[in-house]
Structure 1
């Protein structure tokens, strides 16, 4: 990578909003393609052992990518890389990027090879311990194919960090869309001749597209990779030191997913699929409402922290929290209410049955009630990273993991584990609810700690607005529930669109009546646009 002439800069609130808007559109595109991907996969395979095996196999490369080059590297790399750009030291930034890429490729390759050798035992004794031997063997085969993606995603993940540090958000945000395209190709074109193995090769194609969409912008930034193995470079060591706690924290999150997969594999066939598809739907909404704002916000918070402008730091953070709560509270509650028609509309075709719909909707409703907690967590964790504090989120995340595991073991038994054969309200619902509750505890704890660190987050305005938003969301949920109960025989398309339209009108009207700032700001913005 040659020196870049770009400098890091803090964006204003309006610029952050515009960047977040661009990211939201990109996440919407990714979400739509993600839904198409999931619909194609569900129609091809249904909720059963083959898809359970694929999703379990996907867990390992996803974990390795997350630990090596996902949020861990980005959260550690961006603050250090941004400091070089802020000092107009393009050469130092270039050396840092080259050294980190070289180290990253070596580590990702080694970990993928080791995981491939251990694929059989991983499935037999960890992820699929409750499944039959044939399903375990299939999962190991699929896992070995998809381990190729670890190295590709590693390089692509660092490219995303470089572009975000330069305030280029669109190409990195579009990258997940291209990964979804690869999986769609796998489901529609490759699954026919190769079965579920074609889906695994689709994941490999998607990882190549994930990186490829970023190449044009990297070229415009004069990105030139030159191998540089220098782990003793001070900046590289700083990245690794910052990354260490984050790796531990993300590892803790992955432990939750592994525990959920292992427990669900011992439940009725299709439980792993229902749990994963429901989480994917919730996470799609989270990407639009939470990750988009967090991604746009992080470089600015890092720059304000480096400049020690704490007044602007607090104001920017509080504004982001208000916006995210205003969006995520009604979205989560609304998605829970319309979960069944939404799942039926998206997936109920081909091999996917109404029973599969009922079980997935059950899990989706219990995941969705925790959407606001997940969205706030996206903001708060990045605020700690911008302060170069990666240990506090790890410590609180460890506590949340322990709470999640304990709640999981308790709630699945309350919901019928181990003897239940009721898929429509299966014990995997306890796994979804435990994650929602544990995330709420994690977000609340981080909020209190960050408030002490920064000297306040304008709590009266932020939490007051959130309380009024919650009331408006409750009125919305009641109206939509009555609509669905009164007209149960409507086609699922009408139920879904009608419920969403009614919910939107009721929520916005109630939010205006309750004087929620964000609801009142939207009409003013529209009027200003019209007057221009």
Structure 2
């Protein structure tokens, strides 16, 4: 056993502010991501260029998620965190061996991805024409190395979280976003890339997008690579300081490494199914009218915002702590408190996205080449997604609770059920939605903004809503997964109930929904950002007021208490 006197960086006692630190880091990261998508959307809108870029990001992202954030957190953090309390020197050897293995596997996959970019693009975007496929493959050769570097960044996150240093690893993606913004803006503003379309000399049409925007989306891909490097490098000094006993060797036979490998298999299957589902979404979207893939990307940026801030932050901070606790009663109480915190915030987020999503999407995205038809498509896709927002959010902590108890196989099997459900529902409904035009929806929702004024007749009603069918399939599967995880968690941790907090929130959620519907008509015709602030703000105030009146404890714990401390 290592001598404590020589280990000044032993993790401090757990702090209740851990999830707040993670939430703050994620908030900054996601806000910078929204700014990135807003700027990029203003330059390229939704169409063939956005589809090609979205596809080029999706497949490398699958590699990153498989080897990095999800599976690595499930397998590495519990083993490394527990070993830190026993033998820091051995923990360093385990961490170094895991990093070495990840680096080798990532390097091989990056090389294969670059070499076989064209057939891989064809595999996941079967419906693209040759021009769009060629562009996606060209961009993929740039984005694959970035994803490989982000796998190592995820390893840094695992080390930092185990040492209870939560903020840095979750705020580091800000650099990833800032780099993309900087490269794209520099290319367009200072180097006049695609000058004709950005100056208004050429109007974007379904037939010219890839040609006139090729430089802009290439700049975005290079910015992604630069951002990946920065995100990794900013964490390295702190990791080196905390884990001073690192030994980088391909040591696969060490007991701790074998345990990581054992857990990694089940977690990889679970995360693999999730990522296969994401690829299936792209595959299905590629069969639809242009803009479906790009719409999914824009929608997911907004959808994951509350999940990341309010669910991932809690789940990530609790995983190392739940892994250390041995008493089932303490595990139940700690997990249940997390479920209450998550449900309180994401419940209202779902109401806002479903009923007021057009004001949110319009405020963030609608400018430049991103028009009101694009806003309409992204809102409806987001609304369909958000039907399962509370379920998907609490599933993050349910899954981590099971992981902390060494069960990675159970969540993996449930993920397979989710994949099948999402695919079946999506295929069943997406073609019907793809026949719906923007004008059809505007006839049903007269409070929406006016249709864009296209000078090119080919652009009028060119958009279709097939992406909404895909996100609806994801929503149905999200509830299926949440219910199955809940049943599994009750067996592992008796008394735990991930979905119970939603019942106590029902009066507040119902009130917020009614206020949101009324506010849609009140703010009709207002400047969109002002409409969003007023409508979402008043709906949120009604939610908090009713929640407090009905005895929801989280109002005092999470809102009233901190506000009182700020006044002092």
Normalising by structure 1, we get a TM-score of 0.93
Q: Secondary structure at the match of 2:341?
A: helix
1:106-129 deviation digits (Å, cap 9, x = unpaired): 1001111112222111222x2221
Say whether 1:110 aligns with 2:108.
yes
CA separation in 1, counterparts of 2:121 and 2:474? 23
Say whether 1:409 aligns with 2:427.
yes
Q: Secondary structure at the match of 1:131?
A: coil
1:338-395 deviation digits (Å, cap 9, x = unpaired): 1111111111111111111111111111112221112101101111110011100001
> Does the aligned pair in 2 maintain the 1:347–1:357 contact within 8 Å?
yes
Say whether 1:137 aligns with 2:158.
no
- Are the structure 2 counterparts of residues 406 and 530 from structure 1 closer, same or farther at C-alpha, using a change threshold of 3 Å? closer
CA separation in 2, counterparts of 1:455 and 1:378? 18
1:402-433 deviation digits (Å, cap 9, x = unpaired): 11111111121342469999676612101111
Map 1:156-195 onto structure 2 (within 5 A).
156-190=153-187, 192-193=192-193, 194-195=215-216
> Does the aligned pair in 1 maintain the 2:437–2:463 contact within 8 Å?
no
Which residue is 1:59 aligned to?
58
> Does the aligned pair in 2 maintain the 1:277–1:360 contact within 8 Å?
yes
Where does the alignment leave 5 or more consecutive residues of structure 2 unmatched?
Answer: 194-214, 439-459
Say whether 1:529 aligns with 2:565.
yes
Where does the alignment leave 5 or more consecutive residues of structure 1 unmatched?
Answer: none
- After TM superposition, the structure 1 stretch with the greater mean CA deviation from structure 2, 163-172 or 275-284, is 275-284
Which residue is 1:287 aligned to?
308
- Are the structure 2 counterparts of residues 528 and 358 from structure 1 closer, same or farther at C-alpha, using a change threshold of 3 Å? closer
- Are the structure 2 counterparts of residues 168 and 530 from structure 1 closer, same or farther at C-alpha, using a change threshold of 3 Å? closer
Q: Secondary structure at the match of 1:272?
A: helix
- After TM superposition, the structure 1 stretch with the greater mean CA deviation from structure 2, 112-121 or 512-521, is 512-521
- After TM superposition, the structure 1 stretch with the greater mean CA deviation from structure 2, 408-417 or 65-74, is 408-417
- Are the structure 2 counterparts of residues 227 and 529 from structure 1 closer, same or farther at C-alpha, using a change threshold of 3 Å? closer
> Does the aligned pair in 2 maintain the 1:47–1:356 contact within 8 Å?
yes
1:261-297 deviation digits (Å, cap 9, x = unpaired): 1111121211111111111111122111111111111
Question: Shift of the alpha carbon at 1:298?
Answer: 0.9
> Does the aligned pair in 2 maintain the 1:9–1:86 contact within 8 Å?
no
> Does the aligned pair in 1 maintain the 2:92–2:243 contact within 8 Å?
no
Which residue is 1:77 aligned to?
76
Quick one: which of 220, 223, 226 aligns to 2:241? 220
Which residue is 2:532 aligned to?
496
- After TM superposition, the structure 1 stretch with the greater mean CA deviation from structure 2, 212-221 or 104-113, is 212-221
CA separation in 1, counterparts of 2:71 and 2:563? 42
Map 1:191-206 onto structure 2 (within 5 A).
192-193=192-193, 194-206=215-227
- Are the structure 2 counterparts of residues 528 and 129 from structure 1 closer, same or farther at C-alpha, using a change threshold of 3 Å? closer
Quick one: which of 347, 363, 374 aligns to 2:365? 347
CA separation in 1, counterparts of 2:507 and 2:462? 33
Normalising by structure 2, we get a TM-score of 0.87
Q: Secondary structure at the match of 1:389?
A: coil
1:506-525 deviation digits (Å, cap 9, x = unpaired): 10111122222222445762
Which residue is 2:124 aligned to?
127
1:195-223 deviation digits (Å, cap 9, x = unpaired): 31111110011101111221332243254
Q: Secondary structure at the match of 2:421?
A: helix
- Are the structure 2 counterparts of residues 45 and 512 from structure 1 closer, same or farther at C-alpha, using a change threshold of 3 Å? same
CA separation in 1, counterparts of 2:560 and 2:359? 34
> Does the aligned pair in 2 maintain the 1:362–1:425 contact within 8 Å?
no
1:11-38 deviation digits (Å, cap 9, x = unpaired): 3xxx33x111121111111121011000
1:163-222 deviation digits (Å, cap 9, x = unpaired): 100000010111221211122123212355343111111001110111122133224325
Which residue is 2:338 aligned to?
320
Which residue is 1:154 aligned to?
151
CA separation in 2, counterparts of 1:503 and 1:411? 31
- Are the structure 2 counterparts of residues 322 and 424 from structure 1 closer, same or farther at C-alpha, using a change threshold of 3 Å? farther
RMSD: 2.2
Which residue is 1:400 aligned to?
418
